[in-house]
Amino acid sequence: MEPKLHPGEYRAFITDIPALLTSEQALHFKKTIPKFPEEAVYIYSFKEGRMIYAVGWEEVAGYKDDEINMLSIVNMTAPEFAPFSHELNDKALMFIYNKTEDLEKYSFTIEVKKIHKDGSVIPVVARVGVFEAENGKVTSIIGRFQVNRSIIFGKVMRYAAYGPERSEFEEELNKALFTHLAISRKEKEALSLVSKGYSFKEIAQAFNVSSSAIEKRIIPMYKRFNVKSLTHLVSFAYDNYILP
């Protein structure tokens, strides 16, 4: 039966049932889905209410591929990242779930700390996207967890959204920012140009948007990061490894 997702309830539709890796379906995925070194991949089916594929999890997080499940993936997020990560997942999946076209083109990424089975910290770039859809509804998602040891975590979490309605998608995800220390791809891009001395007008021209649109990306960060000026904001960004 197709699940009925409601805001804040996506976790009610994930289970602790691992994939049956000897199934014909899982064996097909193993042959056709590429995996890179220090990368773990999963496919979770909302339709079946279980993981239907998993590979690379012992290398990345210490869990065998036939034991990893969606609930354990959610719960391995480091405590300081968990509230934002859960809210971002919820808003992203709700946004995609309410779309009916080009669903497989939507995905989002987040840089996040995960906790290895042995208790150590894993710096990960997690990308989650739609794997399959039927009749305009998402039936399964695919996640890729790539270990990235060059990530330096500050207080601020970083994420990005992708898809046909990217701006609308990011607008929806931005609603998760106001109670968390996090920054979107669009905000980071604008802030990077600010740090190089570009004016709001020049940045607006670079992005082909209005100056007010750039202000709307920059000004909300003052309150979110508790800074008093543009100089203070740029300094905060460097101190927290938002800017290289």
Give the pLDDT confidence of 12-63 residue by residue, as tens digits.
678 999 999 999 999 999 999 999 999 999 999 988 999 999 999 999 999 9
CATH number at residue 60: 3.30.450.20
132 and 233 housed in the same domain:
no
Token pair 């009749």: residue: 135
Nearest CA to 94 among 176, 151, 18? 176
Nearest CA to 7 among 96, 97, 90? 90
Instruction: Identify the three-state secondary structure at position 143.
Output: strand
57 and 78 housed in the same domain:
yes
* Cα–Cα distance for residue pair 219/216, rounded to 1 Å: 6
- 179 located within any domain: no
107 and 23 housed in the same domain:
yes
- Assess whether pLDDT exceeds 50 at residue 3: no
- 17 located within any domain: yes
- 64 located within any domain: yes
Q: Which of 142, 174, 206 is the last residue of a domain?
A: 174
The pLDDT confidence band at residue 6, using thresholds 50, 70 and 90, is very low
* Cα–Cα distance for residue pair 84/176, rounded to 1 Å: 7
- Strand locations in 90-136 (E): 107-115, 121-134
For the chain, what percent of residues have pLDDT higher than 70?
Answer: 93
Q: For the residues 89-116, what does the mean pLDDT come to?
A: 88
Sheet architecture: strand order including 121-134: 50-55, 39-45, 137-147, 121-134, 107-115, 157-162, 182-184
Greatest extent of the chain over all pairs of C-alpha atoms, in Å: 58
- 180 located within any domain: no
Is residue 128 within 8 Å of 140, Cβ to Cβ?
no
- 52 located within any domain: yes
* Cα–Cα distance for residue pair 184/122, rounded to 1 Å: 21
Token pair 């750039």: residue: 214
157 and 197 housed in the same domain:
no
pLDDT value for 84: 84
74 and 32 housed in the same domain:
yes
165 and 194 housed in the same domain:
no
Prediction pTM value: 0.80
54 and 148 housed in the same domain:
yes
Contacts by 107-111 with C-beta closer than 8 Å and gap 24+? 107/161, 107/162, 107/163, 108/159, 108/160, 108/161, 108/162, 108/169, 108/173, 109/159, 109/160, 109/162, 110/85, 110/157, 110/158, 110/159, 111/148, 111/151, 111/153, 111/157, 111/158, 111/159
pLDDT value for 169: 86
- 43 located within any domain: yes
Whole-number CA gyration radius for the chain: 19
Q: Domain containing 233: what range?
A: 185-239
50 and 88 housed in the same domain:
yes
Q: For the residues 99-113, what does the mean pLDDT come to?
A: 90
Structure token digits, residue 115: 């906790």
**C-alpha distances in angstroms, 163 versus 33, 99, 103?**
21, 11, 8
67 and 141 housed in the same domain:
yes
CATH number at residue 218: 1.10.10.10
Enumerate residues 6+ apart whose C-beta is below 8 A from 231: none
26 and 86 housed in the same domain:
yes
pLDDT value for 221: 87
Enumerate residues 6+ apart whose C-beta is below 8 A from 12: none
- 5 located within any domain: no
127 and 201 housed in the same domain:
no
How many domains does the structure of the chain reveal? 2
pLDDT value for 38: 96
End-to-end CA distance of the chain: 47
- 27-36, 110-119, 159-168: least confident range: 159-168
210 and 161 housed in the same domain:
no
- 18-22, 68-72, 77-81: least confident range: 77-81
240, HSE (Cβ side, Cα atoms, 13 Å): 18
- 115 located within any domain: yes
